[in-house]
Structure 1
Amino acid sequence: MTALKAHEVARFLARPDLSEGIFLAYGPDTGLVRETAQRLIRHLSGDDPASANITIFDGPDLASDPTQLPLEARSNSLFGGKRIIRVRNATKALVMPLTELRDDPGGTAIVLEADNLPPRDALRALVEAAKLGRALPCYPDSDETLMALMRETFNQAGIRADSDVIPTLREILGNDREITRRELEKLCLYAAGSKTLTRDDVLLLCADNGALAIDAILDATGSGHAEKLDLALNRALSANVNPQQLLAMLTNHFANLRRWRTEMDKGKTARAVLESVKPRPHFSRMAALEQQVRLWGDNSLATASERLLQATSDSRRRPILAETILRRTTLALCMIAATQ
């Protein structure tokens, strides 16, 4: 009986101990399932992948005609080469035809892709119990495996990534292996000429630029950086972000600053206050937020809140001037911050 653990799959793919039989990639991470099957097929194809005889089926199609699978597995290849059968969306409906091939696959490698399967699932049990069977669990990546994948990808491409590139990517991307691979390919293509990657490159190519522009508006206003504020406003407004929405977010931001400042005035450090916030602010904003909490006092924050409430009211009465009101108000607050 061969039941691999999730952490053993990568080692198996690097050097499979079988060249024929039934291979089952399964798990909740469909991107990783697909990638696992593709890597295994590349390895099984040998030194000349073009000569491999690869047939692809969809599980439901085979379930409607179970005889197709054993017939295809045992038919002779017209052009020689390794015979590989790939079955997507495999289910326990394939147990009967696979039982015929379990002990004698005739030199054929059958690579199955399936969703997450419980231990008692008939398909998983069949493959795990077969002498010529290997079940490959594909579960969502941990932080460590994803960051290792990123480092390996950049190293293979000869790209030097700044120290904050990988942590930034990890914050932006989820755990889906296929999405991660796609984003890494995009970054490698972007850096193919310069062979360098910075955090700004990652934010430009992979992040939600609308959300980043809004954060930039909040932080530039609160920190007193007029030039950054102008650039961020232009980016957000060109992306059709509603000026009234921005005023509402600014109002909320300054309300948060006032609440955090109250905690700081009770004796906490700015860092301790921010680390206790739920959800915790993105790590890339922590330094700017610390600066703002220290910069603004309660009286000036009260003044800022009053200005924003008045601006919101004015923009609702005269929507056509909403952008002008937004720019005038944020610049005024920016000037207050700059003189604190």
Structure 2
Amino acid sequence: MVKTSPRDADARIARPDPSIKAYLIFGPDRGLVHERADALAQALVPDPNDPFAVTQMTEEDLKSDPACLSDAMAAMSLTGGARLVRVRLSGETGSGPILELVAALEKGQAQAEACLVVESGDLTPRGKLRKLFEPAKSAMAIACYADSAQSLADIATKMLAEEGLSLTSDARAAWLPRLEGDRAFARGEIEKLILFKGLKSQRKPGDDVVELGDVEMIAADQGDAALDAIIGPVLDGSLTVADSAYVRALGGGASAVGVLRALQRRLDQLGSVAAAGGDDTAMARSGAPRYGPQAAQFRGQMQIWRGRRLDAARQLAFDAERAVKRSASPADTLVGDLLLRLARGAARMRA
């Protein structure tokens, strides 16, 4: 298998090769890694959220039970459809069972009823995972590096156009450079701008042009004090402060969905920084605060929200987002329950 070039990555993900049984999606842009893994899951199984079709694992699972991966890959589908096993790594750590499985697949010594998708952070060319996946016939490695200015512009233009919005030239010039660094961060900022202007069904007629003043109002480097006042205490474990801030924000017109998006962005930032080494450079690339009390708070949150605990928090946030879209329950209540649950978890860790 020829190593997949960044230019061909999205096309290969959209139309998976049936002969490929294992994918390694890696790189410093963890937002893009996760986005491509999600897109691949959509292409491989009818419903990526079906627990009977998809098995989720972390490096901690592989460490505690090395045989669980081969068992999951060999298991037959209970519903008769395609199956998928997804594994999240922070690097090479815990990759032993993956290496053994792919090596066995290459030699024809293992059966794979499921397809394997592995997400990881930045990996060196000399690392064991890349050295095994890149030349393999039954596996594929896909690298995810920072978006170019043009690709970010394309993403922003497409997402805005879906809501009937367009950018003025000065707004484009001022805003797009602020999105560089991480795909998840960029998408979060684009969604923040869309929420600020209002969805297509919510806006007044004629209010469909994003001007410089609009992007300055929601600029990432200016921060959003109301959202920070909620997310910070939640991830610190300050239940009373978090609850009061959430109630005040809703009373001031904030959107529960906007709060949920802010929480997801912060969780993605914590994961991106940890995967990139956790130093000041990693924080800068993710858009996290680097100086003063906010930086100290972020570093404290990194100590609480990491590994399996961070993965669990991301899953809870995803479940809440799905419930908001599908449930008849009000979004304010669903998001509020999530915030309190995470705050309680953080409080227990700090005790």
Tell me what 2:166 maps to: 160
Distance 2:102 2:60 in 1: 14
Q: Secondary structure at the match of 2:119?
A: strand
Q: Secondary structure at the match of 1:87?
A: strand
In structure 2, do the counterparts of structure 1 residues 210 and 24 end up closer, same or farther at CA, with 3 Å as the change threshold?
Answer: closer
Distance 1:139 1:85 in 2: 24
In the TM superposition, residue 49 of structure 1 has moved relative to its aligned partner by: 4.7
Are 1:134 and 2:140 an aligned pair?
yes
In structure 2, do the counterparts of structure 1 residues 19 and 37 end up closer, same or farther at CA, with 3 Å as the change threshold?
Answer: farther
In structure 2, do the counterparts of structure 1 residues 118 and 64 end up closer, same or farther at CA, with 3 Å as the change threshold?
Answer: same
Tell me what 1:323 maps to: none
Q: Is the 8 A contact 1:20 1:110 kept in 2?
A: no
Are 1:30 and 2:25 an aligned pair?
no
In the TM superposition, residue 135 of structure 1 has moved relative to its aligned partner by: 0.5
Tell me what 1:21 maps to: 21
Within 5 A, what are the aligned runs for 1:273-288? none
Are 1:204 and 2:217 an aligned pair?
yes
**Number of aligned pairs?**
210
Q: Secondary structure at the match of 2:169?
A: coil
Give the TM-score, by structure 2 length.
Answer: 0.54
Within 5 A, what are the aligned runs for 1:111-122? 111-122=117-128
Distance 1:98 1:19 in 2: 13
Q: Is the 8 A contact 2:22 2:140 kept in 1?
A: yes
In structure 2, do the counterparts of structure 1 residues 18 and 151 end up closer, same or farther at CA, with 3 Å as the change threshold?
Answer: farther
Tell me what 1:75 maps to: 75
Distance 1:108 1:210 in 2: 43
Q: Which of the residues 81, 95, 98 maps onto 2:99? A: 95
In structure 2, do the counterparts of structure 1 residues 207 and 62 end up closer, same or farther at CA, with 3 Å as the change threshold?
Answer: closer
In the TM superposition, residue 54 of structure 1 has moved relative to its aligned partner by: 0.9
Distance 1:208 1:139 in 2: 22
In structure 2, do the counterparts of structure 1 residues 206 and 140 end up closer, same or farther at CA, with 3 Å as the change threshold?
Answer: same
Give the TM-score, by structure 1 length.
Answer: 0.56
Q: Secondary structure at the match of 1:16?
A: coil
In the TM superposition, residue 116 of structure 1 has moved relative to its aligned partner by: 1.5
In the TM superposition, residue 6 of structure 1 has moved relative to its aligned partner by: 1.9
1:285-331 deviations in Å (ceiling 9; x for gaps): xxxxxxxxxxxxxxxxxxxxxxxxxxxxxxxxxxxxxxxxxxxxxxx
Q: Is the 8 A contact 1:66 1:97 kept in 2?
A: no
Question: Quick one: which amino acid aligns to residue 110 of structure 1?
Answer: L
Q: Is the 8 A contact 1:70 1:100 kept in 2?
A: no
Are 1:174 and 2:187 an aligned pair?
no
Q: Secondary structure at the match of 1:154?
A: helix
Are 1:143 and 2:156 an aligned pair?
no
Question: Quick one: which amino acid aligns to residue 82 of structure 1?
Answer: A
Question: Quick one: which amino acid aligns to residue 102 of structure 2?
Answer: L
Tell me what 1:7 maps to: 7
Distance 1:150 1:110 in 2: 31
In the TM superposition, residue 158 of structure 1 has moved relative to its aligned partner by: 2.7
Q: Is the 8 A contact 2:99 2:129 kept in 1?
A: yes
1:68-113 deviations in Å (ceiling 9; x for gaps): 1111111122233321111001634231133234455534110001
Are 1:106 and 2:119 an aligned pair?
no
Tell me what 1:186 maps to: 192
Structure of higher CA gyration radius = 1
In structure 2, do the counterparts of structure 1 residues 138 and 105 end up closer, same or farther at CA, with 3 Å as the change threshold?
Answer: farther
Q: Is the 8 A contact 1:95 1:123 kept in 2?
A: yes
In structure 2, do the counterparts of structure 1 residues 210 and 20 end up closer, same or farther at CA, with 3 Å as the change threshold?
Answer: closer
In structure 2, do the counterparts of structure 1 residues 119 and 210 end up closer, same or farther at CA, with 3 Å as the change threshold?
Answer: closer
Which blocks of at least 5 consecutive residues in structure 1 are unaligned? Answer: 212-340
Distance 2:111 2:7 in 1: 27
Q: Is the 8 A contact 2:20 2:137 kept in 1?
A: no
Tell me what 2:41 maps to: 41
Q: Secondary structure at the match of 1:126?
A: helix
Amino-acid identity (%): 33
Q: Is the 8 A contact 1:150 1:166 kept in 2?
A: no
Distance 2:13 2:158 in 1: 16
